[in-house]
Structure 1
Amino acid sequence: MSEQLVFHFQSTLSLVLYMSLLPLLAAMVVGLLVGILQAVTQVQDQSLPMTFKLLTVIVLLLFGGSLLAVPLEREATELFNSFPALTR
């Protein structure tokens, strides 16, 4: 029983890392580009990078959220189906 629990815990953690990778990379690239743009133009507004990163992540999740939901649904279904065996 504990092997199954460890397996589900490990697969859930890897799924969380997988799902957060694309938004984090997009926010990092946008933050880097905005930082370079700020350095070139000497604009010292601190809310500018956060605004663009937030908008990038929101747009990414709006258009790519359905692709990220498929593995999440699969993992949840597998976990709920094996729940009775895990709680014995």
Structure 2
Amino acid sequence: MESYGLDMAREALLITLTISAPILVAGILVGLVISIAQAVTQIQEQTLSFVPKIAAMILVSVALLGWIAGQLVDFATIMFEG
């Protein structure tokens, strides 16, 4: 019984990482592109990259909403079936 709880905790962490990875990668890539553009143009405004990163992360979240919901439903089904 103890291993079941550990397996569920491990699975929950794995699902969390799997779901959050595409969103975080989008934010990192947009931030990298904006940082390179700022370095090339010598614009040193710190807040310039904030809005595009948030917008990209929201767009990826909306685009992957069905997949995210499916992953969470599958995990909840496995967890409650025991």
Instruction: Give the TM-score normalised by structure 2.
Output: 0.92
2-structure distance, mates of 1:53, 1:65: 18
- TM-superposed deviation, 1:13: 0.4
Q: What is the number of equivalent residue pairs in this alignment?
A: 82
2:27 corresponds to which residue? 27
Instruction: Name stretches of at least 5 consecutive residues in structure 2 with no aligned partner.
Output: none
Deviant stretches of 4+, over 4 Å: none
Larger Rg: 1
2:10 corresponds to which residue? 10
Instruction: Give the TM-score normalised by structure 1.
Output: 0.87
Which shows bigger deviation, 40-49 or 55-64? Answer: 40-49
- TM-superposed deviation, 1:68: 1.6
- Report SS of the residue matched to 2:44: coil
- TM-superposed deviation, 1:70: 0.7
1:1-88 map, 5 Å: 1-82=1-82
Percent of counterpart pairs with the same letter?
Answer: 30
2-structure distance, mates of 1:64, 1:48: 26
User: Structure 2 counterpart of 1:21, which letter?
Assistant: A
- TM-superposed deviation, 1:80: 2.2
